[in-house]
Amino acid sequence: MTARQALVATVDMFTPVVDDPYVYGAVAAANSLSDAYAMAARPFLALSVLAIPAGWPVAIPQAILRGAGEKVREAGAWIAGGHSLQDEEPKFGLVVLAWVDPARMLRKNGLRPGDHLVLTKPLGTGTITTALKQGKAEPAHVALVQDWMMRLNRDAALAAQEAGLQAATDITGYGLLGHAWEMAESSGVRLRIRWEAVPIMEPAFQYARMGIFPGGSYSNYETYLPHVTFARPLEQPEQLLLFDAQTSGGLLLGVPEEKLAAFRAAAERRGQPYWVIGQAEAGDPVIVVE
């Protein structure tokens, strides 16, 4: 580590959320890389971690590794090796090494009163992939959620760094409100989130009304609900979508008013989608959904 460069090391892995092994590898890689992008770090090396059941055709792990390898190369890094073992349930992920400038690093505790809350991917991956596991998801909905999960958070991180932002986290297993609470608590601010501004994939509403959610979404609801005030009436399926456990979700950024125009310009130049969903305020840490 130097004054201008620090090493970031992360690891993540999970069981399949889709049927296609190539897509699974690509999604798992994008998800693992997000831990680095959430700090505005630049990945340069990865190691694969793979668990496969005995007797699996070799073509399946090959496809997983090919999907991951192509996604890592898209990120400008390389998979230099890894480790595999036998297990009853398949699992895959990456150890990611990345460089970051400590002075420009994004942090969970960087929110300040007045910062706009910006989300860079829509919610809904948890309920849609659970519908897929239950054999209830429509093919078009599967294609939609796969596309979003395979997208890197690289351009969002670059836009954030170019605009000089300080606060970010990635939205994964704890859902939007779980990860937002981590930012609120560590930053000592109140968050106000506008329900109608939150991007949610349209098919997610269909499956939410059917009660289709991963177990993690219900755990998030029980854990983080005490820190959330719903200032508008929402049915429980709608509330659960805000707690829905995401796979390879977007970044949640804190954007000061004076930097919003610069961030918009940087994101739009890269074709990076974004939604302004709320604002940080002075006050005791709590999340208000209105």
Q: What is the pLDDT of residues 231-271, one digit of tens each?
A: 999 999 999 999 999 999 999 999 999 999 999 999 999 99
Alpha-carbon distances of 136 from 17, 21, 110, 132, 203, rounded to whole Å? 14, 19, 41, 6, 12
Mean pLDDT of 216-230: 97
What does the block give as tokens for 222?
A: 């029980």
Q: Which helix (H) or strand (E) holds 74?
A: helix 59-74
Are 120 and 250 contacting, i.e. CB atoms less than 8 angstroms apart? yes
Mean pLDDT of 7-24: 96
Residue 222 has pLDDT above 60, yes or no: yes
**Strands (DSSP E) found in the chain:** 6-14, 42-52, 78-86, 91-100, 116-119, 167-170, 190-193, 228-230, 251-255, 275-281, 287-289
Q: What is the pLDDT of residue 2?
A: 64
Residue 1 has pLDDT above 70, yes or no: no
- If pLDDT is split at 50, 70 and 90, which confidence band does 4 have? confident
Domains of the chain and any CATH numbers = 6-103 (3.30.1330.10), 106-289 (3.90.650.10)
Q: Are strands 78-86 and 42-52 parallel, antiparallel or unpaired?
A: parallel
Cβ neighbours around 6 below 10 Å, total: 16
Residue 227 has pLDDT above 90, yes or no: yes
What one-letter code names the amino acid at 227? Answer: H
Whole-number average pLDDT of the chain:
96
Q: What is the pLDDT of residue 42?
A: 97
3-state secondary structure of 16: coil
DSSP assignment letter at 107:
B
d(CA 284, CA 282): 7
Residue 122 has pLDDT above 90, yes or no: yes
d(CA 11, CA 6): 17
Q: Which residue has the tokens 């150890």?
A: 95
Mean pLDDT of 205-216: 96
What pTM, to 2 d.p., does this model score?
A: 0.95
Q: What is the pLDDT of residues 37-69, one digit of tens each?
A: 999 999 999 999 999 999 999 999 999 999 999
